[in-house]
Chains A and B, each alone.
Chain A
Amino acid sequence: MNTRVEAAWAALEELTDPEIPVISLRELGILRDVRPAADGLEVVITPTYSGCPAMGQIEDDVKATLARAGITARVVTQLAPAWTTDWMTEAGKEKLRAYGIAPPHQTPAGSNVVRFISKPARTETVPCPHCGSAHTVESSHFGSTACKALYKCLDCQEPFDYFKPY
């Protein structure tokens, strides 16, 4: 592999999500590729939710991190294939859990709209990230950010965020 590309991956490994500062952009699946281009490197990122206000920050962070490492790069935003929580690494999911956010379930394969609404996700168990209890309820489909739902543990009584399958 090109050493400049390797150096860029290594520098970006430190870079975490602005909203969830325990998981790296690579582990989240936002950082898609680093490739050589004619005038330096090209870093490919993909947006999570269409309206995620962190995307501008992420692009700036990528540029600043690489600049500090002395690497010239251009950031390219790519929409397809659409980001999915299935790209999150297992290590990343474990970091979310330790941080108090229940990691996402696998997205249901080929679910069509009618099936999606007639069989809500809350029939699936979302274990409490604090005490591990499966005895939890959804308080709201939408939590502190678009990507999370708000849950409550009925055993330890703690509220927590669930990273929704997307």
Chain B
Amino acid sequence: MSAAIDYLLHLADNALVLGQRNAEWCGHGPILEEDIALSNVSLDLIGQARLLYQLVATLKGGECTEDKLAYFRDTHEFRNYTLLELPHHGPLSGYAQSDLDYGTTIVRNFLYSALMALLWEALEKSANADLAAIAAKSLKEVRYHLRHSRDWLVRLGDGTDESHARVQASLDHLFPYTQEFWVHSPAEAAAIAAGIGIDVTTLRADWDAIVDAALAEATLQRPALGGYISEGKQGIHSEHLGFLLAEMQSLARAYPNGVW
């Protein structure tokens, strides 16, 4: 039971945190179509998060609800990949303000969507039937997210000198954070042992193939791996998640049980 809950929270937090990040583009997109596209991607991600939180709330029982899980847990209780909480910008300290960088958004969505397209497909065979049902729905959605981000990655990478240089810089900044994908957390290990979760390392060769083909088409260099391996999925986050949660959770905390 606990193995399932921790694993579901990891999947749910990934979707919610990236959904919230991408939603920062709502009303600020570089062009109208992209404003709409990124808002739609966010809507899908937040919808996936809701389904997963609802499932966790059912498993936990008692007073637990999807809203409590999303709005009343603190930074160290979130289990998302660090990659997903970083601002839409290159390296930046927590309180610094900067314009949103669309290339960073696209690179991150691409790296994550490529993983999730494979993971949701594999999770259709999860021993947890409810998770398998959510995976089947999410797979249909993430394929469109992957296609969208991949198309823009190619367009920016194989675009002008400036767009190429900027998207390469975004890739250099974000790529090392994907190392976290391949190191099992205790929650993942327990879920795999229970037949609920998928061993992501079995998906790595396919992920590499998707990424390498796209990077080649985009004329981008694959950055070297190494250095610090982030641990967001174990609750050890960058300074950025707290700011994201503060914005997302403040209304629910100011007006608990508020409705409209």
- Interface residue stretch chosen among B39-47, B182-190, B224-232: B39-47
Q: Is the CB of B137 within 8 A of A82?
A: yes
Q: Is B74 an interface residue (CB 8 A)?
A: no
Complex-state Cα separation, A84 to B51, whole angstroms? 18
CB-CB under 8 A from B121, the residues of chain A are 112-113
B44→A82 contact, CB < 8 A = no
Total contacting residues, chain A, CB less than 8 A: 30
Q: Verify if B143 is at the interface (C-beta below 8 Å from A).
A: yes
Tell me what chain B mostly uses at the interface: helix, strand, loop, or mixed. Answer: helix
* Chain A residue at minimal CB-CB distance from B150: A117
Residue of B nearest to A48 (CB): B137
User: 1/0 per position for A118-151, CB-CB distance to B under 8 A?
Assistant: 1010000000000000000001111111100010
Q: Which of A47, A117, A120, A144 has the most CB of B within 10 A?
A: A117
**Neighbouring A residues of B137 by C-beta, 8 Å:** 47, 49-50, 79, 82-83
Question: Could you give, for residues 36-65 of chain B, a 1 whenever the CB lies within 8 Å of some chain A CB and a 0 otherwise?
Answer: 110011111111101100000000000000
Is A21 an interface residue, CB under 8 A from the partner? Answer: no
A113 touches B37 (CB 8 A): no
Known: A139-B33, A142-B40. A51 touches B143 (CB 8 A): no
Q: Does A164 contact B (CB under 8 A)?
A: yes
Give chain B's interface residues, CB within 8 Å of chain A.
Answer: 33-34, 36-37, 40-48, 50-51, 117-118, 121, 129-130, 132-134, 136-138, 140-141, 143-144, 146-148, 150-151, 206, 209-210, 213
Give 10 pairs: A residue, B residue, CB < 8 Å, sorted on A: A49-B43, A52-B47, A79-B130, A79-B133, A81-B136, A84-B140, A114-B206, A142-B33, A142-B148, A146-B43
